[in-house]
Structure 1
Amino acid sequence: MFKTLKNDVDVVLEQDPAARNRLEVMINYSGVHAVWSHRINHWLWNKKLFFLARFFSQISRFITGIEIHPGAKIGQRLFIDHGMGVVIGETCEIGNDVTIFQGVTLGGTGKEKGKRHPTLEDHVLVATGAKVLGSMRIGRNSRIGAGSVVLKEVPPNSTVVGIPGRIVVQDGVKVQNDLDHINLPDPVSDKFRALEQDLIRVKKELKELKNVQKEKEVKY
């Protein structure tokens, strides 16, 4: 237990350049408080003390701004950075060394029963404001870009951006679990640039055709 608690603190020191020492992290980091509270609440949930587990999880939500259902399964070294607005559903499963930023929702898509929330494998990063909805698996070493909405499975070693989420990096190349989650490819922007180039080409060809037509009219 103490090793788990120590890991929850150490991962913040590793990931957050603003964190200076363990005491500061233990006292001032709401993400750590939310994870520690969840570990207690999850123990109560497994003991079938459902009311107490939900009651204490709501207190934690009020204090930290992070809502983690006590039924969710969380691995080692989960880092919730600036966690206000994070929601983690009941049947979520989160692996080791996962990073989640503020405004992230790991939720369901309706009122279905059973496994209805996503599974995040090891070394996954979910960036600010992303929504991962439904019972699907996000493969290890994958990154979900800021503001993306993911509705289907993501294979390992992938980067996903956009609404709905599109895989823009894969091919078996490991995606590093770093904090540079804003410099990601934008497939929508790339498509607009391609259309713009096509439009320029069409305008040029049309202008050339008009010039040829004028030359023919002058000859006649």
Structure 2
Amino acid sequence: MEENIDILAFLEQVMLENTHSYRDDFQLDIRKLTAAAQAPETGNRAFYWMSRPCGTWCLNERSVFIQDSFEHCAWTAYENEPDTIRAFLVIVSGQEQGRPMGKVSPIDYKSNVLNVEKNALHAETVVLNFADGETVTLPYEQVKGRLRQLRDQYGTIEGFHYTVEDEHKLEALIFSARHPPERKSRRPKRVPQRGPDRREPCRT
């Protein structure tokens, strides 16, 4: 784990090494992480970030574990090509001279994505934040497939917040993903030591 580092400098180096096209995606990541560093609240500063050969994603950690969210769909879309993905957990702690600072930890994407797909929870409701400041909370089923109608009715959607039936269970899933059990190393088999040969030497 890299602690209290310049997050953008670290991720940019990874992106330059592993992402060969659609590098402009990283500009969106910069804006998202910078906004998190500047926000007064600290509860929404954890992200799953990935570099792939064709672009990057910076996704809210909590939303990745909600099955019906955009973040979940984006994170799990590359399960068949895990060897091309470099993934990290990014936790923003603050800023220095306008640049996000915090912790960056590598994620084993291959095992992580299987865990996310197996254990992610369904969304119960969606809180929608609109450009005019209005906030609307609706059951997920009333939002699914109706974003265009909702935009026509309320205006530009600036943000989503998903809720689940059991928030404690969601928190436990996130904690478990952050602290996976260590794999026990297999001990090499002991080769039995040969004892002293007590046979009498052959007599001639």
Asked if TM exceeds 0.5, the reply is no
TM-score by length of 1: 0.30
TM-score norm. by structure 2 comes to: 0.31
